[in-house]
Amino acid sequence: GFRVFWAWKSRRVGRPALIATVVALIEQMARENPTWSRRRIAAELAKLGHDVNKDTVAKYMPVRPGRPPRHRASQTWATFVRNHLVGTLAIDFLTVPTVTFGVLYVFFVLSLERRRILHVNVTAHPHAAWAAQQLVEALGPDAPTAARLIRDRDGIREALDHVIVLGERHLLRLVRGYIAYYNEDRPHMSLAGDAPIARSVEPPGRGRVVALSRVGGLHHRYARAA
């Protein structure tokens, strides 16, 4: 019942698919008017009683032969972010359902330089003043210097997708436990396999490998024990 309820509540809501006659009109207009843009075709369709978004029009416009390909920007967004990791903070606001069908909100702040989560908090009633206070708390004396702020979807969902939350205190305990694992234990490809708080390499001579439970057994850290 829980799964069905949230599948219904999270259903996608969007424009219905275009009927074949409208698609044919888009193709015809694009073919017969090679200089028309998607906006021009959308305006013409509106005059025919078809309210079609310009981006939807572009989806159905045929590729024009001989048209030179668009040049990509000199720097993609991903490249820009990689080149400016130092001084960039990322934030995210995500929703989490509870066992009683309520909704809680998780807000966290992450430093991209080492993919380190600086701050996290949970609330049932988010508002602008509350979010601003979280940034103030995140930017304490030990926090990296911040020059840029972006939004980022990070891996905290890999913990929340596997639990049923009982309430606000339960969720806060879960995310704090996950962040301790994320910062201290979890290897990141972008950090050459290291954790945000660097882990030392433990050579075989240090002893046998043991599994250390993290986040209630959802994750583990592996270390050598003498």
DSSP state of 78: H
Tens of pLDDT, residues 161-170:
888 999 999 9
Nearest CA-CA partner of 121 in 163, 171, 178, 164: 171
Environment class of 106 (CB within 10 Å of its CB; exposed 0-12, middle 13-18, buried 19+): buried
> Is 6 a residue whose pLDDT tops 80?
no
Question: Per 3-state DSSP, what percentage of the chain is helix, strand, and coil (rounded to 5)?
Answer: 40, 20, 40
Q: What is the rounded CA–CA span in Å between residue 101 and residue 191?
A: 38
CA 32/CA 94 separation, integer angstroms: 47
With 0.95 as the threshold, say if the pTM is over it.
no
For 186, the 3-state DSSP assignment is coil
What confidence tens digit (pLDDT) does each residue in 80-137 have?
A: 777 888 889 999 888 999 999 999 999 999 998 888 999 999 999 999 999 999 988 9
What is the Rg, in whole angstroms, of the alpha carbon atoms belonging to the chain?
A: 25
Q: What integer pLDDT is reported at residue 157 of this predicted model?
A: 72
pLDDT band, very low/low/confident/very high, at 62 (cuts 50, 70, 90): confident
Q: Kindly tell me if the per-residue pLDDT of 159 is higher than 70.
A: yes
pLDDT tens digits, one per residue of 26-43: 999 888 888 888 888 888
Q: What pLDDT digit, counting tens, does each position of 213-226 carry?
A: 988 888 888 898 87
Instruction: State CA 74 to chain mean position distance.
Output: 24
Share of the chain above pLDDT 70, in %: 89
